[in-house]
Structure 1
Amino acid sequence: MRGKLVVGAVLCLTIHGLASASQEPVDAASKAIEALRRNAPIIRELAGMGALDQEMRTRFLALRQNASDEDRRALDGVWAREFEPIDQQHVMRLKALLNGRGWFTAEQVGDRASAAAFAIVIHSNDVEFQREALAKMEALSADQRPSGYAILFDRMAVEDGRPQRYGTQRPECLDGKHARPKSIEDPSHLDARRRSAGLQPFDEYLALLDKMYGRCSPPA
């Protein structure tokens, strides 16, 4: 009898332990779902703007990639006339959504909506808005920052006349190929910094630019 009681007690403790262990992920899932439910309208809006932002650029770059210099100039005119106003509308709306709050993290709105917000910022011509967005990102812990943080950091460094840290902006053009920018912090450790920011090695990045944009042209 005593043995049965001991076994029964152990079994009860084991079942109780399993119940306690299984409750934690359930609670975490419930909290995550509730956060997403609260933010559902913002998630839909950001994701919609981000999808349009990316689709515009994908189709436009496909047309521009192998076009002649003359055709590229004509296509750039189409972009300025037809697509830049859409970018400006997105920027104005994102400014309103971010007013009085921090950056949209993936935990709050999901990866896709957070990435969409970043795409709108990085494609904006409003430098002050970009500075404000960077400040919001820098207020977050490193693991909460969007994956494109390094790109915006470099963008502001170029605007301020400082060397880039990650080499993501304004590559040189050598013989129709993209090449390393001239002003880079501590070039010998560039790939280590890129790796810490979740970016691919720099040579792979240049090859990607050549594939995406086709031949480059030196600045006039």
Structure 2
Amino acid sequence: MLEHLRDSLLALQQKDLSVRDELEADGSLFDGYHPRMAAVHRENARELRKVMDEFGWPHEGLVGKEGAEAAWLVLQHSIGEPDCMRRGRDLLAVEVAAGRVPEWQFAYLDDRIRVFEGRPQRFGTQMEITPDGPVVCEVEEPAQLEQRRQQAGLSPLTQRLKDMRSAPRPSPAEYQARKSAEAAWRIEVGWIPVSDC
């Protein structure tokens, strides 16, 4: 195991979680994509790119379980860096096939990328809170969804939705404003090509 690399990944994760905790404490975390959080995610993505350039995906055999999960969290939060997330997804797919990464990590990442790209997700990990409560973002081949979730090591979707029922719901106006801002952001950072709009 490369302990220096593991420690670097854990430090990136800690920086992400610390800023998140600060913004959650002052109530500003969920007012759009906070500039401080976006800056941390960009910086962390830059560091993770260097790791991927040198080592490929930092799996458990390379950086231990905690280091590998830290790398996944950094990648999952690199939402303003589409190319980084797509590259990480490709590397994760290889590691899942080799048995070095749990499939649930790939499932969350692949679903997040697909939803940002405006495509149906495959594992039902991406949800949103609407004025009517939690809903699952569009899913490809919904009849096979629970089978895919089970294979990836995910809990049944009904349980996940039940866990989210108590989340505060936005007003219709708040929801529409959030969706409009999200659509503009997806174009701005490159998830959706301008030609597709």
TM, length-normalised to structure 2: 0.74
Q: List alignment gaps of at least 5 residues for structure 2.
A: 178-197
Aligned residue number for residue 193 of structure 1? 148
Aligned residue number for residue 5 of structure 1? none
Query: Using a 3 Å threshold, how does the CA distance of structure 1 residues 179 and 138 change in structure 2: closer, same or farther?
Result: same
Instruction: Calculate the aligned-residue CA RMSD, in Å.
Output: 2.6
Query: Using a 3 Å threshold, how does the CA distance of structure 1 residues 87 and 164 change in structure 2: closer, same or farther?
Result: same
Deviations 1:23-82 (A, max 9, x none): xxxxxxxxxxxxx2xx11101110111122234334534654xx9xxx954xx47x31x3
Aligned equivalents of 2:81, 2:69: Cα separation in 1: 18
Name the structure with the higher helix share. Answer: 1
Aligned residue number for residue 168 of structure 2? 214
The structural deviation recorded for 1:88 is 1.6
Aligned equivalents of 2:46, 2:89: Cα separation in 1: 17
Aligned residue number for residue 53 of structure 1? 16
The structural deviation recorded for 1:208 is 3.6
Which among 20, 31, 38 is matched to residue 84 of structure 1? Answer: 38
The structural deviation recorded for 1:189 is 2.6
The structural deviation recorded for 1:150 is 0.4
Aligned residue number for residue 166 of structure 1? 123
Aligned residue number for residue 43 of structure 1? 6
The structural deviation recorded for 1:132 is 0.5
Aligned residue number for residue 77 of structure 2? 123
Aligned residue number for residue 150 of structure 1? 107
Deviations 1:76-120 (A, max 9, x none): 47x31x332222211111111211432111122111111111111
Aligned equivalents of 1:91, 1:152: Cα separation in 2: 14
Letter in 2 for 1:108: L
Query: Using a 3 Å threshold, how does the CA distance of structure 1 residues 203 and 54 change in structure 2: closer, same or farther?
Result: farther
Aligned length: 171
Aligned residue number for residue 18 of structure 1? none
Aligned equivalents of 1:150, 1:141: Cα separation in 2: 10
Is the 8 Å Cα contact of residues 127 and 135 (structure 2) preserved in structure 1?
no
Query: Using a 3 Å threshold, how does the CA distance of structure 1 residues 209 and 45 change in structure 2: closer, same or farther?
Result: farther
TM, length-normalised to structure 1: 0.67
Deviations 1:170-218 (A, max 9, x none): 436242x21122x21222332221121111211222244455x533453
Q: List alignment gaps of at least 5 residues for structure 1.
A: 1-35
Residue 204 (1) aligns with residue 178 (2) = no
Aligned equivalents of 2:120, 2:163: Cα separation in 1: 22
Aligned equivalents of 1:210, 1:170: Cα separation in 2: 12
Q: Which stretches of structure 1, 4 residues or more, deviate above 3 A after TM superposition?
A: 58-64, 207-211
Aligned residue number for residue 94 of structure 2? 139
Moved more, 115-124 or 54-63: 54-63
Letter in 2 for 1:123: H
